[in-house]
DNA sequence: ACCGACATGTAGCATGGGCTACATTTTAGA
DNA sequence: TCTAAAATGTAGCCCATGCTACATGTCGGT
């Protein structure tokens, strides 16, 4: 996924980080609705094979974002939980904003997923401000 | 780049399409400011090595998005120009919207780059509507 | 006309994320 | 308890995108 201009060069590392955020967030979501998060839960949620999930979980584990034993469920470390929380907030704010300006829920949900990793803090702040302003107004 | 939930599974194909759009749009941009678009122009603009550009241009050529001879400059085919135009509009609309709601120009530019491929037509329509509405209002 | 500098192409490697096929472990039910 | 099904892991493949190092083509100036 290339980026234009001298302002920003996207590396594989960035890419891997996005994936990490996606998975950590997904794990967080799952752990809110059920006691454990298993490979099969993630493969269902992410729409990929269990093999892909397994490999990615190995990386997350190496990066100390999750704890996981072979054949066991996974849990978030403090670090992982923090990342999940940040990611979740960002995601939620984006979704709220899209809904607020009138995007149909289905599209808003999909777009929020995709845009999540590409929205700067500056833009998020503006979105938050717009939401607050308009909620005060009524 | 994984996607969540049953609603959407991102494939390698999607990925390649994004890259194609990015490059075709970049070629279009370059051809507006200079008579020819060369590999080195693209590698500078995209921030990658000339090798990466060369390989991607081969794919674009195979897909009939560009015309290119070895060691020569590249031009957009009708198909490529159409894709570039669509991409450009989308990009511009997104950028205008971000600026409109008050995102600082530098951040807006970066975010528009990243979000471009993740914003649905539904959301773009809403953004267009917001822009028009507010321009009428004043 | 040639030669050197620059542009472009090619070989070959890495990494990430996708898969199928097969191996192993867990676990539930007979 | 023991065995079959389900879950997970491993081997090994594909493709996209990134790179460096090296090979080849182009072009301008002497």
Q: Please report the pLDDT score of residue A10 as a whole number.
A: 56
- The structural domains of chain B, ordered by start, are 12-81 (1.10.10.10), 85-137 (1.10.60.10)
Give the angle A8-B128-B92 at the CA atoms, nearest 5°.
30
Distance, CA of B106 to CA of B68 (rounded, Å): 33
Measured between beta carbons, the chain B residues lying within 8 angstroms of A126 are: 101-103
Distance, CA of B90 to CA of B106 (rounded, Å): 18
Task: Test B5 with A101 for CB contact under 8 angstroms.
Answer: no
| Mean pLDDT within B100-112 | 97
Cβ-based interface (< 8 Å): residues of A facing B:
1-9, 15, 18-19, 22-23, 26, 44-48, 52, 98, 101-104, 106-111, 113-115, 117-120, 122-123, 126-127, 129-130
Task: Test B103 with A115 for CB contact under 8 angstroms.
Answer: no
A59 token code pair: 């990386």
Task: Test B22 with A2 for CB contact under 8 angstroms.
Answer: yes
Distance A70 CA to C23 C1' (A): 14
pLDDT of residue A137 exceeding 90, the answer is no
- β-bridge mates for residue A76, sequence order: A66
Mean pLDDT of chain B: 92
- Say whether A35 sits in a helix, a strand or coil: coil
| DSSP symbols for chain B | ----TTT----HHHHHHHHHHHHHHHHHHHHHHSS-B-HHHHHHHHTS-HHHHHHHHHHHHHTTSEEE-TTS-EEE-HHHHHHHHHHHHHHHHHHHHHHHHT--HHHHHHHHHHHGGG--HHHHHHHHHHHHHHHHH-
Q: Please report the pLDDT score of residue A1 as a whole number.
A: 40
Strand D–CB A62 distance below 7 A: no
pLDDT of residue A115 exceeding 80, the answer is yes
How far does Cα A135 stand from its chain's mean position? Answer: 26
Q: Which of residues 81-120 of A touch strand D (CB under 7 A)?
A: none
Q: Please report the pLDDT score of residue B134 as a whole number.
A: 81
Q: Please report the pLDDT score of residue A92 as a whole number.
A: 98
Nucleotide nearest to B41 (CA to C1'): C7
pLDDT of residue B6 exceeding 60, the answer is no
Give the angle B130-B131-B134 at the CA atoms, nearest 5°.
80
Q: Which residue is nearest to nucleotide D15 (CA to C1')?
A: B12
- Say whether A66 sits in a helix, a strand or coil: strand
> pLDDT per residue over B59-92, tens digit each?
999 999 999 999 999 999 999 999 999 999 999 9
Nearest alpha-carbon partner for A114 in B67, B115, B92: B115
pTM above 0.85, yes or no: yes
Distance A72 CA to C29 C1' (A): 22
Distance, CA of A71 to CA of A123 (rounded, Å): 41
Give the angle B117-B3-A86 at the CA atoms, nearest 5°.
90
Distance, CA of B66 to CA of B62 (rounded, Å): 8
Task: Test B102 with A129 for CB contact under 8 angstroms.
Answer: yes
Query: Please, which pLDDT band fits residue B3 given cuts at 50, 70 and 90?
Result: very low
Distance A51 CA to D13 C1' (A): 13
């Amino acid at each position: 996924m290339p980026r234009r201009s001298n302002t920003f060069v996207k590396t594989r590392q960035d890419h891997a980080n996005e994936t990490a955020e996606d998975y950590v967030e997904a794990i967080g979501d799952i752990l809110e609705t059920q006691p454990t998060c298993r490979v099969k839960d993630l493969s269902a949620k992410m729409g990929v094979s269990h093999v892909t999930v397994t490999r990615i979980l190995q990386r997350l584990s190496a990066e100390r974002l999750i704890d996981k034993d072979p054949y066991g469920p996974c849990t978030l470390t403090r670090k992982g939980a923090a990342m999940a929380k940040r990611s979740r907030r960002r995601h939620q704010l984006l979704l709220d904003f899209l809904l607020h300006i009138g995007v149909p829920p289905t599209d808003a949900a999909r777009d929020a997923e995709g845009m999540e990793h590409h929205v700067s803090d500056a833009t998020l702040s503006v979105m938050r401000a717009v939401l607050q302003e308009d909620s005060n107004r009524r």
